[in-house]
Every structure is written in C-alpha cells, then in structure tokens.
Amino acid sequence: MSRRAAVPGLPSQYPIGGQLPALYADDDFAQRFTAGLDTVLAPVFATLDNLPAYLDPRVAPSDFLAWLASWVGAVDDPQWPVERRREAVVRAVELHRWRGTRRGLVEALRLALGVHAEVTGDGGAAWSSTPGADLPPEPAAEVLVRVWPDGDTRVDPARIHEVVRAMCPVHTVCRVEILPGPPTDEGR
C-alpha cells in the first residue's frame, strides 16, 4: 500500500488562480475553485518534479523498490533490510551479466544472504583451441560451493540452496558445503 497521498498544506508550485485572465483575478468563486484544484494537483506536481528521485533505487521511497525491482528483474525480498533491497536493484543488471559464472554466484550469495562463498569446479566445460584436435578428457561435472557466514550472520541452508539453484547453469550439478568459518588451506 502506498504511503503517498494528499499532503495537508502542500503549496502548489504553479497556482492556477494566478494564471487566470484578469477578469477572474478578483472573482472569489474562481479563486476558491482553483485553490481546490491546486490542493489536488500539488502532490502530482511534486511527484513529477521529483521523478528522477523515484527512479533512482538509492533514494526512491522504500515502497517503490518492489516496482523498480520488477523493471530490472531483481530479487526483492521484503524481509531484507531496505539498504540490501536498494543494492539488489542497483546491481541487478550487473548480476544478470555474471549469471552462471563463479563471480555471479559469489556476488549473488553475498548480496542475498550476506555470506561469503568460494566456488570450485567448472561444471564440465572443456574445449580445445586447435581445430580438429582430439576431444579433451571428460572433466568433473560437479561444482562445489563452499559458504560461510560473515560474523554473526545466521545461515539458512534452504535459502543458500535456492540462490545456488537460481544462479548455476541448468546442466551443472552443484554441491553446497556450509562451513562455520572461512576455509583454511588444511581444510581443502
């Protein structure tokens, strides 16, 4: 539900009464009638004058973020803090560009859940730069995603799996490990 409505006492930047022909300048009824229209139109003019701010997710009203997110295909979770929702809309196009890559998966997990991640494996991609060369050996078709919380962040395994499924290419098998802290060299 929108919180924007008529604002009591909001003056019109463009009062209609002052723009009427001289014949109506002293007409009490015409001035009162147009003052009523000014009251109705003042929020419309204020919105139009500030339209760039409505379209900028960094400063748009928080109840406007869901609509902006739908424009750019961003995830908008009403349970997230407003600043995280704003960042998701601002970075949506960039994240779409990185979708299906290690970087995209790591950034999506950080943005959506506030966790750190490390991705190993290539999902079975192999190629050769030599025309007519023998096929390369079959690579492992599994991607390992290690996730650990940032500080006191609580990790929800279901949400992690949801983000991983959404960001990994369809043909890959992704295995997720949730670690209590950052991985060490001994733990690899």
Among the ranges given (30-39, 61-70, 115-124), the one the predictor scored with the smallest mean pLDDT: 115-124
Provide the mean pLDDT of the chain.
85
pLDDT interval class at 4 (50, 70, 90): low
Percent of the chain residues past pLDDT 90, beyond the cut: 31
What is the dihedral angle through the alpha carbons of 24, 27, 31, 34, rounded to the nearest 10 degrees? -50
Q: Is the pLDDT of residue 1 over 90?
A: no
Residue 66: how many other CB atoms lie within 10 Å: 14
Among the ranges given (31-40, 95-104, 126-135, 152-161), the one the predictor scored with the smallest mean pLDDT: 126-135
pLDDT in tens, 44-64: 888 889 889 889 999 998 888
Question: What was the pLDDT predicted at 32?
Answer: 93
pLDDT interval class at 17 (50, 70, 90): very high
pLDDT in tens, 132-167: 888 777 666 788 999 998 877 778 899 899 889 888
Helix boundaries (H) for 50-169 = 51-55, 65-72, 82-90, 92-97, 102-113, 157-167
